[in-house]
Amino acid sequence: MSSGSDVVGAADGDPGAGGGRRFGPCASRTVVPPVRFVPPALPVVSALFGAAVSGVVIEPGAFAWSLVPTGVLFAARLAELRYGDRVAAGGGVAVAVVAASLAVTLLGCVLNPFLCIAAFSGYLDADRYLRGRQVVVAAVATGLVTAVGQGGGIPGLSELPWLYAALAAVNVGIGMMMLHFARERERQVAARERVALELAAVHEENLALHHRLLEQARETGVGEERARLSREIHDTVAQGLIGVISQLEAIRAVEPPARERIDRAEAAARDCLVEARRAVRALAPRQLSGHTLVEALGDLTRNWARSHQIVAELDADEAPPFVRHGDVLLRVAQESLANVARHGGASTVRLVLGGTEGWVELTVADDGRGFDPAEAAARGEGRGIGGMADRVGGVGGRFGVQSRAGGGCRVVAAVPA
């Protein structure tokens, strides 16, 4: 039995194992309200046709008896409008309800062939209440019952049995085609839904990635600007104050009143220098906040070795106490270690931070597989190396990479002291 109320079923079913929305007239998830009254109306229409030809095509007595199954079907369809949603699809009650409906319809078709009009509801019943192989069985049974009425009831079956067989084959074939096309449509709908869900998931990932990239870009921009301001203050204000202090210290042979003013000026310059250096430290990269470059490199080396299970050591015995471009060297160390982890295949890594006259030099060497820089450049690789070179070159430093296939890699970055 079918009422056209909301129906939901699994997609992608086959006749033997599955289920889902099957037949075109009931394939949508939500059926418009007027369709709910079609099944109750069909028995009435069948009775009206039978009454019109009673005594001509149908025996009056047979038609009178046909009103009993017709009335039963009509009452059952009205009850379905109220209680149909309570029947669990595919359960024993559902199977019994559909079987009883087909049996009553078959009896009515024998007495009033026009009741085959109401037999169409069997397809709707199969779609709504049955699952899996039950649907195929109900569709075949509906086609057979419909053919009884189409063949003229008992007189037609007895006189032209081949006509019944032909009508039954046509009805069953049409039912199977409806089943096939409906399932194919459902598979397409299910595929579109899966694609839509995948696209939605990709869209969410893209949004999250976009937000992360924006945040990273913002942090990178802030970090670079802080580093630039730090260098500017160190190179201009701090160096200028050091020069002023040196000039003031050189003044000795002056009268006491002037000496007092000079001392005050020197003290004020020293205070300003302290504040300038504090600003330089505050604007240094986050890893250098509250730490020297040696401490930041030590933390970086230990954490990286622990994360990647690779032996790594830092030699900073010759490192100067203050490094003007420590942020640049720290970034070089980070990128170099990242390259070792991604491509190097090394078992040990050694970082050396030292100072020569006018320069601070960082060396990162590993015993990995190495690479041919020329081949890497020809393949369009080595962007990380190019970024390090640009960063070092931006502060007037020197940068180089020494490597060969199977011979490890050595990265050397030197910045002005």
pLDDT (average), residues 314-341: 87
pLDDT (average), residues 220-228: 69
What's the pLDDT score for residue 348? 93
* pLDDT at position 311 over 70: yes
* pLDDT at position 380 over 60: no
Domain boundaries, the chain: 24-198, 286-416
pLDDT (average), residues 110-121: 86
pLDDT, tens only, 44-81:
988 898 888 888 878 888 888 989 998 998 898 888 88
The residue ranking higher by pLDDT, 399 or 57, is: 399
pLDDT (average), residues 307-329: 87
* pLDDT at position 230 over 90: no
**Rounded (10°) angle between helices 92-111 and 60-83:** 160
pLDDT winner (highest mean) among 5-19, 145-159, 269-283: 145-159
3-state helix, strand, coil in the chain (%, to 5): 70, 10, 20
Specify the DSSP element, H or E, that contains 302.
helix 293-308
* pLDDT at position 397 over 60: yes
* Number of helical H runs and strand E runs in the chain: 14, 5
- At the top level of CATH, the class of 286-416 is alpha beta
- Mean pLDDT taken over the chain: 79
pLDDT, tens only, 33-46:
466 778 888 899 88
* 121 close to 1: Cβ distance less than 8 angstroms: yes
The residue ranking higher by pLDDT, 298 or 120, is: 298
Of 161-175, 216-230, 273-287, minimum mean pLDDT range: 273-287
What's the pLDDT score for residue 164? 78
* pLDDT at position 16 over 60: no
Q: How confident is the model at residue 10 (pLDDT cuts 50, 70, 90)?
A: very low
> DSSP string covering 225-256, please?
HHHHHHHHIIIIIIHHHHHHHHHHHH--S--H
